[in-house]
Structure 1
Amino acid sequence: MSNLMNCKPLMKRLSILVLAAFAFTACLDTLPEDFTSPSTWYKNQKELEASLASVYDPLRDCYSVYLSVEFSQGSDECFSKESTPKLVPYYYNYDAGNNSIKMVWQELYKGIDNANVLLENADNASCDAEVIRRIKGEALFLRAYYHFLLTAYWGDVPLRLESTKSAEDVHKPRTASAEVYRRVIADMADACDMVADIRTLGFGGRVSKQAVKGILARVCLNAAGRLDEPEYYAEARKWAWSLMEEGVCALNPDYSDVFIKLMQDEYDIRESIFEVECYGNVESTEMKETGQFVAYYTPMYSKQDYCVDEKTKKSIARGRGVFYVTPQLYDSYDDGDLRRDWTIMPYMYKNEAVLEQIPYNEPFRFRWPGKFRREYEINLPVYSWGNSTNYPLLRYSDVLLMFAEADNMVNNGSTPESLEAVNQVRRRAFGFDPLTPLAEVDMKAMSQAEFLEYIQAERARELAFESHRRLDLMRWGIFLERMHEIGEELAAIPLKVIDEGTGKSIDNPIFTQSGSGFPMNSNPSGPEMMARPFRNVDQKHLLMPIPELEMSVNKAIGTNNPGWN
């Protein structure tokens, strides 16, 4: 086993020219003028590991901000407080020329092509056969995962199982999403027998058997919902149960500690099973592969006490404070649920320069997300845009909830096994031992419809801001309904209410928090501004548009998705 596997910076971009010199995406229609030939590479384990790093690269490139923020928001979790809408996916004001959509498409196909080249040439290396098998397993899984993301967001997409070798190879027709799902599931199942156990790896930044099983459950749930093929529920249940039955993974007893560990670059392989590796910060001169999602999901504040620019004497570390959490998410938590005041900030900061906590007025509902808190960062100095916090792709609580959902669908209602799975998540939420039954907290038997409704709400409470919600709403078939419902509820919140004590008209306390900057009297008004992205959602947004560039280059791609022609 390579000693590269034991340190966090493993997946940073290597400062050598590897496959990027000759592997190009499906959106290119010209051949490179010079390149590194596969016949002169893939000679030893070091070169295989370097090539594998290029297969991992799109995870960070896509999840730094595109998939972690721009694609995954535009759900019922939160909304942008920007007064002027940007042309980003979460506003639903984009078209087929949108740069974020193009970048994700290109990065995912770049990763697929790099995986294909590696799979085609790995056996040429002179090293241990088990090393080759493991590396091929990781590449096979990542190729499948990238195809899953493509079909989840775009539907029918080109299925690329061979590397790009000539300009003609860019002309590839779309494959029906049902076939893409079948191939993804088959390849992931094969990869499961090839990759290392997470206990051997010692960290969650690389594909492990446990990661494969958990992601397979997710893929199967998406296939069941998006394809309307209920037989995939049994597959989802099988893979989630296989992971649970191992006893390798378990809930961290402290919900907040999961995210404190992420902020402090500490691995927790029992709970955080698969993570996108990030490294460094955007201001340093050292090699850095940062993530930007933390800046979006944190309040607008600075840490002046330890991060001051010597020239200007101003702090340069801050959150961007882009989103407010929806009142619906805040109110979905029961009293005593400790996740609420961690996922959603229970306080604001005095101002952008002073890290003094000011508790929110209790009625105030338009609060910042709080899951990724920059005051816990230990890699100093801390800067504004990018940092080293890993993005969690799979946590054990997600596996428990996926198992419960699949089991409910297979057995037409809750079972003791599915109830125990959700109750582990629920017990921790209220500060109790996840493994100790507690009558006053535990959920009781429910019908299939009741249990599904509970799981739908529980996934929002447990997994908010972890890039699941939009695709969850899609696979449940309630995306349009839910988005329009939230939009109308937000628009209907009155700016003024009658004070019960005085009988006078006052500002609605749901909006009022000194220093919050909530735009009550903006144009459009605060409620109309909040409702805007939810009202923009249309039938065509069930799928992303195939990027304009791909449509112009790939002559075999056919027509665009409905509503995007």
Structure 2
Amino acid sequence: MKKLSFLLLLGLLTSCNDYLATDPEDFVAPETYYNNEAQLTSALMGIYTKLGNTINQGGSAEESTYSRFLSLEAPSATDEMLARSNSAVAVSSYSFDSSYPQIVNCWTNLYQGIDRANLLLERLDQANTSQEVKDQIRGEALFLRGYYYFLLVGYWGDVPLKLTSTTSVNDVNIARTPAHDVYAQIIKDMTDAEPLLKNGTEWGNSGRISKTGCQGVLARVNLYAAGRLGETDKYVAARDWAKKVIDSGQHSLNPSYSQIFKNESADVYDPQECIWEVEFNGNAIGSIYREASRFGSTLGVRNDEETRGYMQGLYVATGTQYNRYNAADLRRDWNIASYYYPGYDATRGPTTYATTYVWGRYINKWRRDSETLRPFNKNLGPTNWPLLRYADVLLMYAEAENEVNGGPSAAAILAVNQVRRRAYGFPLSTPATTSDLTTANTASKAAFLTFLKEERARELAFEGWRKLDLLRWGTFLTVMKGMIPIITAQAPSSSNAALGYYGRTATLLPYQNVSERDVLWPIPSNELALNQAMTQNQGWN
């Protein structure tokens, strides 16, 4: 076969496999397949699958989207988290290039999801099923196409905007589309999808996108367009979409912050708080499913004793992140470990960190003892990844409202206070001096935004949004380079392997490596070589 760009090649491999199934059917004939509700649903699940593929069709690990890469390596390093060791070539150490496998694979998977969506949208009307079914599937396919473009434009900037399925091996040269136009299409796709989607209560789970899920993501997309494109009129749309979620009455904060993440590890749905998740299933032991998460065995307190839940503990919190919390904030000791296992052996029981030890503590937001499947799979588990929580909607609403009004309104302040009251264990509707915003925090638009940026870091810690938030605020490089004097002054110089700390030199490395080019990822070298209309991002070879 003639060589194709990845963008096109994987479009031709459009799979109509059932969600999570082990044996997808590739190379099906479109004219004979999309004929009934079952086939349409199967094709739709093939689009969802790109959110979290763990094991590819050959049976080997891939993990280039939310199973591991987009949940761990891609959002690191920031002032929030970093890898324990930064000696290997990796996105998290800012030492990679355009041929880095996970960059190639992530790009490829996102475009394959887009091409699957395009083909389903083109063939949908030929099916012998009700208009209601067609509308629902159309809404989900439109939304997912928009979401995959949201990831592409967020990490790569200008990207090819392809709205029809691949039909020829010859059309390999597709130019990049300006980010403004990509965002416009994302917003159009999601806006068109929103009236077609079901309410979350009709699904009974958080794995399929709901009407309010679409509204919440539209708030996020508009916030990112406002920040990264300078299109400040988008703050109005961001506020209005977030308010639709709030006014729907379908969502509320879980009274217990820690329970959210226990539920995600136990495969328990909480659609009131967790509006949309990447749904992982099973642990690949005696299971037909190939959608199990890898991040759950990577992001936690290191433990080499497999019967207690093996954990690599590859990523740690920065001291800056730890110091964002005060001791009364219940989120601190849930998100960041207060203990470690001597000898990496959980059977010996935990040892509490010294109170003065704040650099290099393990991240502990998802814990393997919450998984209900036994025996443990060493590397794979059922933990779901949060893509949209109600707390995030409240914070997005407050941020957009602040921008639109030129300062915080009473509604914006209440939204933030609800998140903070939950964090301190207080009733959500009762004012509390310990948790609530002060007069200084609300004195001006700038003061409120400054506080809100820190509150997003506290509430959404390690959920993959910090780097993208810094990028949309235009502060990414300033924050990253600002970490160098902080680490030099505060972090211990020597390593302490027992505590999971690799020393000041390893800790400094990503912040020393990062440069202007890292505002965007490189176009994959394979794509650049095969697609003659493609150009590379500035600073990359």
Give the TM-score normalised by the residue count of structure 1: 0.87
Q: Does 1:75 align with 2:78?
A: yes
CA change 1:121–1:16 in 2 (3 A) is farther
Shift of 1:282: 4.3
Which whole-Å CA distance do the structure 1 matches of 2:71 and 2:500 have between them? 25
Kept in 2, the 8 Å contact 1:282–1:385? The answer is: no
Aligned with residue 471 of structure 1, among 458, 468, 471? 468
Which whole-Å CA distance do the structure 2 matches of 1:528 and 1:462 have between them? 29
Shift of 1:116: 0.3
Q: Which amino acid aligns with 1:550?
A: E
Counterpart position of 1:31? none
Q: Does 1:357 align with 2:357?
A: no
Kept in 2, the 8 Å contact 1:252–1:271? The answer is: yes
Kept in 1, the 8 Å contact 2:47–2:113? The answer is: yes
Q: Does 1:330 align with 2:322?
A: yes
Aligned with residue 211 of structure 1, among 200, 210, 213? 213
Kept in 2, the 8 Å contact 1:14–1:50? The answer is: no
Counterpart position of 1:518? 501
Shift of 1:515: 3.3
Give the alignment's Cα RMSD to 1 decimal: 1.8
Which whole-Å CA distance do the structure 1 matches of 2:93 and 2:491 have between them? 23
Counterpart position of 2:202? 200
Q: Does 1:537 align with 2:514?
A: yes
Which whole-Å CA distance do the structure 1 matches of 2:492 and 2:386 have between them? 38
- Higher-Rg structure is 1
Kept in 2, the 8 Å contact 1:76–1:329? The answer is: yes
Counterpart position of 1:30? none
Q: Identity of aligned pairs, percent?
A: 40
Aligned with residue 423 of structure 1, among 417, 428, 452? 417
Aligned with residue 48 of structure 1, among 35, 40, 46? 40
Q: Secondary structure at the match of 2:350?
A: strand
Q: Secondary structure at the match of 1:274?
A: strand
Shift of 1:517: 4.6
CA change 1:89–1:515 in 2 (3 A) is closer
Which whole-Å CA distance do the structure 2 matches of 1:69 and 1:166 have between them? 36
Which whole-Å CA distance do the structure 2 matches of 1:286 and 1:180 have between them? 37
Which whole-Å CA distance do the structure 2 matches of 1:236 and 1:142 have between them? 19
Counterpart position of 1:28? none
Q: Which amino acid aligns with 2:107?
A: W
Q: Does 1:301 align with 2:303?
A: yes
Give the TM-score normalised by the residue count of structure 2: 0.91
CA change 1:517–1:476 in 2 (3 A) is closer
Aligned with residue 396 of structure 1, among 383, 390, 396? 390
Q: Does 1:492 align with 2:457?
A: no
Q: Deviations over 1:185-223 (max 9, x none)?
A: 111011001111101111100010011011111111100
Give 1:6-405 correspondences, 5 Å limit. Answer: 12-18=19-25, 21=26, 35-61=27-53, 62-82=65-85, 85-284=87-286, 286-302=288-304, 307=307, 317-355=309-347, 356-365=349-358, 366-405=360-399
Aligned with residue 438 of structure 1, among 432, 437, 452? 432
Q: Secondary structure at the match of 2:387?
A: strand
Q: Which amino acid aligns with 1:560?
A: Q
Counterpart position of 1:7? none
Which whole-Å CA distance do the structure 1 matches of 2:540 and 2:196 have between them? 40
Q: Secondary structure at the match of 1:139?
A: helix
Shift of 1:493: 3.2
Counterpart position of 2:537? 561
Kept in 1, the 8 Å contact 2:361–2:500? The answer is: no
Counterpart position of 2:12? none
Q: Secondary structure at the match of 1:339?
A: helix
Which whole-Å CA distance do the structure 2 matches of 1:66 and 1:440 have between them? 37
Kept in 1, the 8 Å contact 2:159–2:176? The answer is: yes
Which whole-Å CA distance do the structure 2 matches of 1:397 and 1:470 have between them? 18
CA change 1:263–1:11 in 2 (3 A) is farther
Which whole-Å CA distance do the structure 1 matches of 2:498 and 2:464 have between them? 29
Kept in 2, the 8 Å contact 1:14–1:53? The answer is: no
Shift of 1:139: 0.4
Q: Which amino acid aligns with 2:301?
A: P
Q: Which amino acid aligns with 2:537?
A: N
Shift of 1:552: 1.1
Counterpart position of 2:6? none
Q: Which amino acid aligns with 1:543?
A: L
Kept in 1, the 8 Å contact 2:72–2:464? The answer is: yes
Which whole-Å CA distance do the structure 2 matches of 1:139 and 1:303 have between them? 42
Which whole-Å CA distance do the structure 2 matches of 1:75 and 1:68 have between them? 14
Kept in 1, the 8 Å contact 2:265–2:371? The answer is: yes
Counterpart position of 1:502? none
Q: Deviations over 1:506-564 (max 9, x none)?
A: x9xxx87x931534xxxxxx21210101111100000000000111111222x211101
